[in-house]
Copies of this chain bind each other. A is one copy, B any other.
Amino acid sequence: MSVGSSGGKRTSPSEGGVCAVCGCPLRPGGAGRPSRYCSAACRQRAYRARRRNVDAPPEGPDVAGGERGVPHLTERELLAWRGMLKVQSRLLPVLDGELRGRAEININEFDVLYQLWLAPGRRCRMKDLAQAVLVTPSGITRLVDRLAERGLVGRANSEGRQAVEAVLTGEGERVLRRAMEVHFAGVRRLFVAHLSAEEIDGLARLWGRLSGTVAP
């Protein structure tokens, strides 16, 4: 494919489909991409047929390499910033996977249960919960919906107030205890274990200072 192509659409498989090579009916197929061929052999045959009429693909423009420094930041500062992004986006999927696999909740659901558990009375208004979990109001509504369907939290509208509160249930607390066991062990193994006591202190101080700079 040549430069500038945006990978245009190919012919879609016919409805209720037959193999594009031999015409055999295709298996119904469940999730994932639907197949156009009844077997790997037919797929190969189609490939070889295509190969016969292609010519060498044109080259893309080879822009000369130049400066790579970025505006406004030194290399060191760039590393301090992008390193954080990298570390976090490598670690979070691992921690999320551990929770899904061993505690049946994802990492955002964990955060909701954890924040409720921290709060006095194991309860928190939706608005404050959204702040703590770092999602939007609609995000917290749907997170709580999912957890409520499983009986891990309830909704309360105590004393005729406008605000709705989410409340951690007994079952929710049981799930959370198991999840904390898994999750915080993971945080230690993947993050804390690689840092010195001074670095831990330094980070804790530094995050505290930065948290003040972008208001919630």
Contact = CB atoms under 8 A, between A and B. Distances in A.
Contacts of A157: 1-2, 57
Interface string A120-146: 111100000000001000000100110
A156 B84 CA distance: 32
B3 A207 contact: no
Given A3-B155, A60-B156, A190 B207 contact: no
A79 B134 contact: no
Interface in A168-211: 168-170, 173, 180-181, 184-185, 187-188, 190-192, 194-195, 199-204, 206-211
A186 B44 CA distance: 51
Given A94-B214, A181-B71, A199-B206, A7 B191 contact: no
Which of A4, A118, A151, A164 neighbours the largest number of chain B CB atoms within 10 Å of its CB?
A4
A72 interface: yes
A72 B187 CA distance: 9
Contacts of A61: 167, 169-170
B190 A213 contact: yes
B184 A70 contact: yes
Most chain B CB within a 10 A radius of its CB, from A68, A73, A117? A73
A195 to B, nearest CB: 7
Contacts of A190: 213-214
A81 interface: yes
Interface stretch (A10-18, A22-30, A34-42, A85-93): A85-93
A98 interface: no
A88 B88 contact: yes
Given A60-B156, A62-B123, A63-B122, 5 more contacts: A3-B156, A6-B145, A71-B185, A83-B211, A84-B207
26 contacts: A1-B156, A3-B154, A3-B156, A4-B169, A5-B148, A5-B155, A6-B148, A7-B144, A56-B160, A57-B157, A62-B123, A65-B120, A65-B122, A68-B117, A71-B181, A72-B188, A73-B187, A73-B188, A81-B187, A83-B210, A85-B134, A89-B134, A90-B214, A91-B214, A191-B210, A199-B206
